[in-house]
Amino acid sequence: MEQLWKSGAVYQIYPRSFCDSNGDGVGDIPGIISKLDYIASIGVKIVWLSPIYKSPKFDMGYDVADYYEIDPEYGTMEDFERLLAEAKKRGLRIVMDLVVNHTSSEHPWFRAALKGEMPYHDYYIFKKGKKEGVPPNNWTSMFTGTAWEYVPELGEYYLHLYDKAQPDLNWRNPKVLEEVENILRFYLDKGVYGFRCDVINQIYKESFEDGAGRNPSGRGQEHYLMTEGNHRILRTLYEDVFSKYEDHIVVGETFNVDIENGIRFLRDKELDMFFTFEHVALDKGLFGALPKKVNPAKLREVLYKYQKSIPWNANYWENHDQHRCIARFGSLKYRDASAKALGTLLLTLKGTPFIYQGQELGMLDAPMKDPETSTDCAAQAVLRLTKGFHLPKWLRYKICNGIDRDSCRAPMSWDNSINQGFTPGDKAWLLFAEDDGTHNVACEDKNPESVLNFYRKMLDLRAKHEELTHGNFDPLPSKGPLFAFRRVLGKASILVLINLSAKAIKLPVYLRNIEGKTLLSLGEDIPAGLPPFGVRAIDVG
Ligand code: GLC
Ligand code: CA
């Protein structure tokens, strides 16, 4: 059976910021449908949608109030079915986001739970405090602050590893598993290709003892990350549901995953692939928020570690939680060149590449703003926390801006008209990204040298050379900012050389004068070296 995810790339849509069809300033499903031809033109095969379920959107849809309904801001179930059908016509498959570590506090299950009604009370994790006024343990939420909320009517606390509007489900309760299996079948039967499973490595809480350390966020994770119960549940979901559908994809978002558990996820058929976080932590300095410079050699070490030990990776630079990649791993001065160098790496490493909307244009973050105005609950939580720190305002704002995810959720740039073609109305729900008026679909489409046309060429190359999808990863000795590796399939092999720095470099002697057919060459020719962010891909047979 052909597995589309082994050859096809994934394009992530953040629906709220992709395309607004009706002028309310919020992206929607009809907007997505109107852009399917564009998406297909990039050369991706799979489209992952961040959540579109009914939600009060305290965490922008990662707080689901009804898994069987589409949020009215985004459209209706008929719109969604039309999206599936129209996507299929263009050879695209749709992946949904599965958010089941928690629901929204407005989900009817939780509303019933709050009244102490059975069976719903046991769908969530309620516990008595240690003593009056003291939560059951010292765990802190991923968004900082205590992970417990007191319910006076019940005399109990409920657990929320994220916002208090996101109560954690109780995965010890077999009813929860049954409900989730039904949700999965409901969408798979409609023709959905699979799921990106939100924070899926923390759903089963092994114990409720105090956490070690003093981390203001995520304290206690040694009691719930990648527990045996978690592995068991994933195996069950795969066996009971996914294995019954021919070709499908199950991608885990696995916070702080390690190699050992990663190997198990794949080996024991729990997930098809999973997102790692080590590479995107490399530029996190003080408070996990202030940016620091990334050492490309360190980046190479981290990426190669997973390439060598995990049979199939989910590769990414960007998503709706991560600041845009050029300023982090590339260079604003070499905006296009570094966007292409990073794109080359993404599309030539082994695994499935994930491209976040706008990344194919070299989009940047939205400009920094007063964090008080952020719509992101994570930024708001950090703002609350840092109020107690007696820090100067500018530093507090800088920390919050480092966390704030509004910046990477800026609306997609379709053209250089006043609202960038995102909305026919007069206002978008969020600030637009920083731009020079040329990094939008309309301009880049016409420019053969654009980042967009690079992505198209590169995806085409990937489709034509099986080495780049199914080949082994063979790292070659290299130093500094040079990435040198081969992708080998049988007798065929492609050599990839990337200079991930703003300085020209010399190539090691053994990589000079390589014989073969050049498939890709970016940046000027310099003798025995590579220019800033220069790239070569050579078919070395
Ligand atoms: C994941 C999502 C993020 C969300 C969190 C809680 O990390 O990507 O956007 O805030 O889970 O659901
Ligand atoms: Ca709209």
Q: Which of 97, 253, 283, 467 is catalytic?
A: 253
> Which whole number is the average pLDDT over 334-347?
98
Q: Pairing relation of β-strands 535-539 and 492-499?
A: antiparallel
DSSP H or E run through 308: helix 296-309
Choice among 218-232, 383-397, 404-418 with the minimum mean pLDDT: 383-397
Overall average pLDDT of the 475-494 stretch: 97
Atom index in ligand 1 nearest the CA of residue 99 equals 12
How open is the CA angle 239-241-245, to the nearest 5 degrees?
A: 105
Mean per-residue pLDDT, 452-477: 98
Per DSSP, the residues of 449-499 read TSHHHHHHHHHHHHHH-HHHHHSEEEE----TTEEEEEEEETTEEEEEEEE
CA-to-CA dists, residue 462 to 6, 350, 466, angstroms: 11, 11, 7
Catalytic residue among 149, 198, 376, 444: 198
Kindly state the average pLDDT of the residues 377-403.
93
> Could you tell me if the CB of 321 is within 6 A of ligand 1?
yes
Indicate which atom in ligand 1 lies nearest the CA of residue 378.
10
Whether residue 360 has pLDDT greater than 80: yes
Ligand nearest to the Cα of 59, by number: 1
* Structure tokens, 486: 């081969």
Whether 272 sits among the annotated catalytic residues: the reply is no
Q: Which strands, in side-by-side order, build the sheet including 273-275?
A: 273-275, 249-253, 194-197, 93-98, 46-49, 10-13, 352-356, 314-316
* Ramachandran sector of residue 296 (left: φ over 0; alpha: ψ -120 to 50; beta: rest): alpha
**Is the minimum distance from the CB of 404 to ligand 1 under 6 angstroms?**
no
Mean pLDDT over 41-55 rounds to 98
Q: In the predicted model, what is the mean pLDDT of residues 249-258?
A: 98
Confirm if 278 and 322 have CB atoms less than 8 A apart.
no
Quick one: which ligand is closest to 429's CA?
2
Q: Are strands 46-49 and 93-98 parallel, antiparallel or unpaired?
A: parallel
Domains located in the chain, CATH noted: 108-159 (3.90.400.10), 469-539 (2.60.40.1180)
Q: Catalytic annotation on 253?
A: yes
Here the tokens at position 451 are 């980042």
Verify cis geometry, omega within 30 degrees of 0, for the bond prior to 411.
Answer: no
Q: Reply yes or no on whether the pLDDT at 1 is more than 80.
A: no
Report which protein residue has its CA nearest ligand 1's atom 6: 62
CB 300 within 8 Å of CB 294: no
User: Given this model, what pLDDT does residue 287 score?
Assistant: 82
| Residue from 183, 160, 28 nearest 104 by CA | 160
| Confidence (pLDDT) at 289 | 86
| pLDDT given at position 368 | 87
High-pLDDT (> 70) share of the chain, %: 100
Q: What is the mean pLDDT of residues 285-309?
A: 94
Is 342 strand, coil or helix?
helix
What average pLDDT score do residues 315-337 get? 98
Angle at 433 between CA 523 and CA 291, to 5 degrees: 75
> Which atom, in ligand 1's list, is nearest to the CA of 162?
6
Give the pLDDT confidence score for residue 286 in this predicted structure: 85
pLDDT at 181 exceeding the cut of 90: yes
Write the DSSP symbol of residue 202: G
Residue of 521, 393, 412 lying closest to 38 (CA atoms):
412
pLDDT attached to residue 2 = 86
pLDDT for residue 69 is more than 80: yes
For residues 55, 61, 67, 69, the Cα torsion angle rounded to the nearest 10 degrees is: 60
Distance from the alpha carbon of residue 145 to the mean position of ligand 1, in angstroms: 16
Mean pLDDT of 313-336: 98
- Please say whether the beta carbons of 51 and 444 come within 8 A: no
- Compute the average pLDDT of residues 169-198: 98
Strand partners, 110: none
Question: Does the structure show a pLDDT above 90 at 288?
Answer: no
The answer to whether the beta carbons of residues 217 and 143 sit under 8 Å apart is yes
The per-residue pLDDT for 149 is 98
Ligand 2 center to 404 CA (angstroms): 23
Kindly report the three-state secondary structure assignment for every residue of 123-179.
HECEECCCECCECCCCCECCCCCECEEEECCCCEEEECCCCCCCCEECCCCHHHHHH
Q: What percent of the chain has pLDDT over 90?
A: 97
Output the six-digit token pair for 340.
């292409």
Ligand 2 centroid, distance to 249 Cα (angstroms): 29
